[in-house]
Amino acid sequence: MKSVKSCFKKAQIGMIEMIMVMIVVVVIIVIGMVFYFKFSGSSMEKTQERISEDKAAVIISSVAQLPEIECSHLKGRGAKGCVDTLKLLVLSMKDKEGNPDFVEHRRHYSDLFGYMVISVEQLHPQTSGKECDISIFGLPDYPEAPPIGCGNWTIYNNPKKGAGSVFRTMPVALYYPTNRAYTLGQLKVTIY
Amino acid sequence: MRKKSQTEIMGLLTIVVLFIFIGLIYIMLAGKADKGSLTRDVVQSEKVQSLLSSFMQLTPCYSKVPYDQMDVIIKECYTSSGGLVCGEPCKEFIIAEMDDVMKAYNPRQEYEFKILKGKEEFISKGGCTGASETKAGSVDLRDITIRLTYCIK
Amino acid sequence: MLKYRLSKKADVSPAFQYIFALIVGAIILIFFIKFAFKAESTGKEVIKAEVLHSLDASMQAFSVSVSSTDLLPSTPWPQLVDMKFGTGANCGKFTVTGQKFLVPIPRIVFGPEQMKARQLKAWTTSWYFPFRVTNIFYLVNDRSKYYLIFNANNQDFVKRISSTPPATAVFEMDHLPREFDVKYYDSEADAVAKLKINDMVKVNYFEEKNGVSNGLKGSSLVVSNYCMDEDEPGYKCSGTVTFYEGNKLTGASTFIGRELMFAAVMADSIGVYQCQYGRALDEMERMINVYTAKAQRLATKRQECEYDGKYNSIIGMLNNMKGKIQVLKTNPGDSDTALQLSNLADLINEFNDNDLGGYEECEVLF
Q: Where are the domains of chain B?
A: 1-32, 36-152
Q: What pLDDT does C265 receive?
A: 97
Kindly give the pairing relationship between strand C200-205 and strand C144-149: parallel
Q: What pLDDT does A80 receive?
A: 79
Q: In whole angstroms, what is the distance from residue B78 CA to residue B98 CA?
A: 16
Q: Note whether A72 contacts C366, CB cutoff 8 Å.
A: yes
State the average pLDDT for chain C.
87
Kindly give the pairing relationship between strand C200-205 and strand C183-185: unpaired
Instruction: Measure CB to CB from residue C60 to each of A62, A77, A101 and give the nearest one.
Output: A62
pLDDT tens per residue across all 192 residues of chain A: 556 566 667 888 888 888 888 888 888 778 878 877 777 777 777 766 666 777 777 788 888 888 999 998 887 666 778 999 999 988 877 655 555 556 666 777 887 888 889 999 999 998 888 888 777 776 665 656 555 678 899 988 888 888 778 889 999 999 999 888 999 999 999 988
Q: In whole angstroms, what is the distance from residue C137 CA to residue C127 CA?
A: 10
Evaluate whether residue A59 is within a structural domain: no
Determine the distance in angstroms separating the CA of A7 from the nearest CA of chain C, rounded to an integer.
6
Q: Does A102 touch chain C (CB under 8 A)?
A: yes
| C55-86: burial string, b at 16+ Cβ within 10 Å, e else | bbbbbbbbbbeeeebbbbbeeebeeebbbbbb
Q: Note whether B62 contacts A124, CB cutoff 8 Å.
A: no
pLDDT at B38 over 70: no
Q: How many residues does chain C have?
A: 366
Q: How many residues does chain A have?
A: 192
Check whether residue A44 and residue A116 sit in a common domain: no
Evaluate whether residue C331 is within a structural domain: yes
More confident residue, A52 or C163: C163
pLDDT tens-digit readout, C267-318: 999 999 999 999 999 999 999 999 998 998 888 887 778 777 899 999 999 9
Interface of A with B in 2-21 (CB under 8 A): none
Q: Does A114 touch chain C (CB under 8 A)?
A: no
In order of A121, A148, A152, A173, the CA distances from A129 in angstroms are 8, 9, 6, 17
Check whether residue A50 and residue A72 sit in a common domain: no
Total of domains in chain A: 2
Instruction: Measure CB to CB from residue A124 to each of B40, B47, B104 and give the nearest one.
Output: B104
Q: Note whether A181 contacts B62, CB cutoff 8 Å.
A: yes
Q: Which chains touch B (3 or more CB pairs under 8 A)?
A: A
Determine the distance in angstroms separating the CA of C54 from the nearest CA of chain A, rounded to an integer.
10
pLDDT tens-digit readout, C2-12: 444 445 555 66
| C137-162: burial string, b at 16+ Cβ within 10 Å, e else | bbbbbeebbbbbbbeeebeebbbbbb
Evaluate whether residue C251 is within a structural domain: no
Q: Does A62 touch chain B (CB under 8 A)?
A: no
Q: Does A162 touch chain B (CB under 8 A)?
A: no
What range does the domain containing C344 cover? 280-356
Mean pLDDT to the nearest integer, C98-123: 87
| Chain B interface residues (partner A, CB cutoff 8 A) | 15, 19, 22, 26, 29-30, 34-36, 39-40, 42-43, 46-47, 50-51, 53-55, 57-59, 62, 66-67, 69, 100-101, 104-105
pLDDT tens-digit readout, C24-69: 888 888 888 888 888 777 766 666 666 767 777 777 777 766 668 8
Closest alpha carbon to A183 in C362, B100, B43:
B100
Hey, of C301, C362, C365, which one would you mutate to test binding to chain A, going by the most A CBs within 10 A of its CB?
A: C301
Instruction: Measure CB to CB from residue A11 to each of C10, C282, C289 and give the nearest one.
Output: C10
Q: In whole angstroms, what is the distance from residue A50 CA to residue A55 CA?
A: 8
Q: Which of A64-73, C13-22, C130-139 has the highest mean pLDDT?
A: C130-139
Q: Which residues of A touch C290 (CB under 8 A)?
A: 68, 87, 90-91
Total of domains in chain C: 1
Hey, of B4, B54, B63, B69, which one would you mutate to test binding to chain A, going by the most A CBs within 10 A of its CB?
A: B54
Determine the distance in angstroms separating the CA of A181 from the nearest CA of chain B, rounded to an integer.
6
Instruction: Measure CB to CB from residue B53 to each of A81, A179, A180 and give the nearest one.
Output: A81
What range does the domain containing A41 cover? 1-54
Q: What pLDDT does B20 receive?
A: 85
Check whether residue A46 and residue A109 sit in a common domain: no
Q: Does A14 touch chain C (CB under 8 A)?
A: yes
In order of A112, C58, C105, C112, the CA distances from C52 in angstroms are 15, 11, 9, 17
Name residue C13's amino acid.
S
Closest alpha carbon to A178 in A63, A73, A67:
A73
Check whether residue A96 and residue A158 sit in a common domain: yes
Q: What pLDDT does A32 receive?
A: 78
Question: Cα torsion for C250, C252, C253, C255, to the nearest 10°?
Answer: 100
Name residue C336's amino acid.
D
Q: Note whether A182 contacts B59, CB cutoff 8 Å.
A: yes
Q: In whole angstroms, what is the distance from residue A179 CA to residue C360 CA?
A: 11
Question: Taking the model in full, what pTM does it have?
Answer: 0.82
| Percentage of residues of chain C with pLDDT beyond 70 | 91
In order of A79, B128, B146, the CA distances from B136 in angstroms are 21, 11, 10
In chain C, the residue whose alpha carbon lies closest to the alpha carbon of A55 is: C57
In chain A, the residue whose alpha carbon lies closest to the alpha carbon of C132 is: A67
Q: Which residues of A touch C289 (CB under 8 A)?
A: 101-102, 105
Q: Note whether C286 contacts A68, CB cutoff 8 Å.
A: yes
Check whether residue A50 and residue A69 sit in a common domain: no
